[in-house]
Amino acid sequence: MKPLLEIAAVSVRRDALVLLDTLTMEVAPGSLHALVGQNGAGKSTLFAALLGFIDFDGSIRFHFRGNGRIGYVPQRFTVDRTLPLTVAEFLALQRRRWPVCLGLGAGAVKKSEELLAGVGLQGFSHRPLNALSGGELQRVLLANALDPLPELLLLDEPATGLDQASVARFEKILMEVDTTILMISHDLEQARRLADKITTLERSAAR
């Protein structure tokens, strides 16, 4: 079976600094593939290359069969505590053609409730985004990344800073997601629990 993602000899350099050194790997369709390694090994740099945020040497090929969408949940998402935005308004941002400050219709609120139910946050639509706990916010970000269901979901250490109960809830949701997942994890035990395959990135000696 052809891989969903082929990465061949991908390197990222910033002047004389090597951020990612000739990485070659494949991600099988429908798998949960974990990336582990020390800080500075280039895991987040790889995600930036996959998302088209930075230039790179080498080859990245996607073999999508459907919508070709890539979902992304960052390691950290800072919410402005003065921002008067509800969870439903946040979820509507990428789906509306006019400002959410003009109000949400019943359909948009219903859609947000459907998305939130999928991550165990029923009834959270009208809660202020800036009042959520870390675990709740990560699940909102996951709900956002899953609509519409992407062919590839990128997770950059999504459980960082969460308590044990929140980590367990997040992992349970991931195991129920029916798509290909590439996840960065600093926790080798978590990677072993969840992943079909693990790739270890080593820090380049040329840094």
| 14-64 pLDDT tens trace | 888 889 999 999 999 999 999 998 888 899 999 999 999 999 999 999 999
Give the DSSP H or E segment for 23: strand 17-27
How far is the C-alpha of 183 from the C-alpha of 198, rounded, in Å? 9
137 in the Ramachandran plot: left (φ > 0), alpha (ψ -120 to 50) or beta?
Answer: alpha
The amino acid at 87:
V
| Amino acid sitting at position 68 | G
Per-residue pLDDT tens digits for 69-100: 999 998 877 777 677 888 988 888 766 554 54
Give the whole-angstrom CA distance, residue 186 versus residue 31: 19
- Per-residue pLDDT tens for 138-195? 889 999 999 889 999 999 988 777 788 888 888 888 888 999 999 998 888 889 999 9
153 touches 74 (CB < 8 A): no
Q: What angle do the packed helices 134-145 and 106-117 form, to 10 degrees?
A: 110
Tell me: pLDDT of 207 over 50: no
Please give the domain boundaries of the chain with CATH numbers for all domains.
5-79+132-201 (3.40.50.300)
- Amino acid (one-letter) located at 155: L
Q: What Rg value do the Cα atoms of the chain yield, rounded? A: 18
Residue 9's pLDDT band, with cuts at 50, 70 and 90, is very high
Give the 3-state secondary structure percentages of the chain, helix then strand then coil, rounded to 5: 30, 25, 40
User: What is the pTM for the complete model shown?
Assistant: 0.88
- Sheet arrangement for strand 32-37: 70-73, 152-156, 180-184, 32-37, 197-201
Per DSSP, the three-state class of 32 is: strand
Q: Is the peptide bond before 148 cis (omega within 30 degrees of 0)?
A: yes
